[in-house]
């Protein structure tokens, strides 16, 4: 089963924007927020994605995650079934220090929140922190998208 290993950080400043290679507009909603089995639907630019996530372990760094591309039509229909409220954010992709950082700039009711995630190959992998990366919030449920 595919295991996602990820660490999450707050972002101190907007310096990451000039380092980004691309950005995407993301709209996401939740069909289930049960911490043992989260089900999320996303529209990324004009593409639909359905994601299933298991319960976090290893201090919040790891969990089972399975993503499947779905049609934009199905994604739009599933959005209508989601638990309020829908999250909208702009995701910036930054390749730095042999890692890929995804920085989410939240909009609407989460405006002002900027969170960076970095997926790792192992829990022991070292991260050289860019100057814009702030306090680590891995495992802090307050910063889980499903809790926003």
Q: Is 30 marked active-site?
A: yes
- pLDDT (0 to 100) of residue 37: 92
pLDDT at 60 over 80: no
Q: For 64-97, write each residue's pLDDT tens digit.
A: 899 999 999 999 999 999 999 899 999 999 999 8
Task: Please state, in angstroms and rounded to a whole number, the distance separating the CA atoms of residues 102 and 122.
Answer: 18
Closest CA to 40 of 70, 9, 73, 7: 70
Q: What is the predicted pLDDT for the residue at 44? A: 97
Position 1 scores a pLDDT of 62
**Domains and their CATH numbers in the chain:** 3-147 (2.40.320.10)
Give the closest residue to 62 by CA, choosing from 2, 143, 4, 1. 4
Average pLDDT over residues 51-55: 93
pLDDT at 57: 77
State how far the alpha carbon of 21 is from the alpha carbons of 27, 103, 112, in Å.
20, 12, 22
Catalytic residue, chosen from 30, 121, 143, 144, is: 30
Model pLDDT for residues 92-148, shown as the tens digit of each residue: 999 998 899 999 999 999 999 999 999 898 888 899 999 999 999 998 989 988 888
Has residue 15 got a pLDDT over 80?
yes
Q: In this predicted structure, what is the pLDDT of residue 14?
A: 97
Give the pLDDT of residue 117.
96
From 42, 64, 62, select the one nearest 52 (Cα to Cα): 64
Residue 62: band (very low, low, confident or very high) from pLDDT cuts 50, 70, 90: confident
């Amino acid at each position: 089963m595919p295991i996602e290993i990820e660490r999450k950080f707050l972002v101190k400043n907007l310096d990451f924007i000039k380092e980004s290679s691309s950005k995407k507009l993301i709209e996401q909603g939740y069909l289930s927020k049960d911490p043992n089995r989260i089900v999320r639907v996303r529209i990324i630019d004009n593409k639909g994605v359905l994601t299933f996530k298991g319960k976090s372990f290893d201090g919040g760094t790891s969990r089972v995650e399975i993503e499947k591309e779905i049609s934009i039509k199905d994604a739009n229909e599933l959005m209508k079934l989601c638990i309020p409220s829908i999250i909208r954010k702009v995701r910036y992709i930054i390749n730095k220090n042999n890692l890929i950082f995804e920085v989410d700039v939240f909009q609407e009711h989460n405006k002002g929140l900027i969170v960076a995630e970095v997926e790792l190959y192992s829990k022991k992998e070292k991260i050289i922190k860019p100057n814009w990366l702030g306090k680590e919030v891995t495992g802090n449920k307050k910063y889980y998208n499903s809790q926003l």
